[in-house]
């Protein structure tokens, strides 16, 4: 028990950014244990870079979850690009394809 507690304290005080980023990523997939949560929380208090990484990862996960669920667009009207941009994009893509086909 004492050895485990001492190990947890060492983990909290010596966590490096690579370890913290691994825990941040793991926390997206599973619940961290108490020692991991404490160590990560302490590290995030003192490390601006890892706090930013955590925010960026959460943002990307949020955006990607919306892309995986096409029904979300139909239910909420949410889209990463609006209808006008979508039409313009299709036009540009079609033009590039035609140009490539004509040049071959």
pTM: 0.56
Packing angle, helices 34-46 and 17-27, rounded to 10: 120
CA angle 54, 58, 61 (to 5 degrees): 140
Reported as a single tens digit per residue, the pLDDT across 27-86 is: 988 999 988 998 999 999 999 999 999 999 988 888 777 765 555 455 555 555 555 666
Does residue 59 contact residue 42 with C-beta atoms inside 8 Å?
no
Tell which wins on pLDDT, 71 or 102: 102
pLDDT at residue 23 tops 90: yes
pLDDT band (50, 70, 90) for residue 94: confident
**According to the model, what pLDDT value does residue 22 have?**
93
| Closest alpha carbon to 50 in 68, 66, 27, 83 | 27
């Amino acid at each position: 028990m004492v050895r485990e507690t001492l190990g947890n304290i060492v983990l909290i005080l010596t966590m490096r950014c690579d370890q913290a980023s691994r825990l941040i990523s793991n926390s997206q997939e599973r619940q961290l244990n108490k020692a991991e949560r404490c160590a990560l929380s302490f590290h995030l208090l003192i490390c601006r870079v890892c706090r930013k990484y955590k925010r960026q990862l959460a943002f990307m996960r949020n955006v990607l979850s919306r892309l995986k669920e096409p029904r979300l667009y139909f239910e909420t009207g949410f889209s990463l690009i609006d209808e006008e941009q979508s039409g313009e994009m299709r036009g540009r893509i079609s033009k590039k394809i035609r140009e490539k086909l004509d040049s071959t």
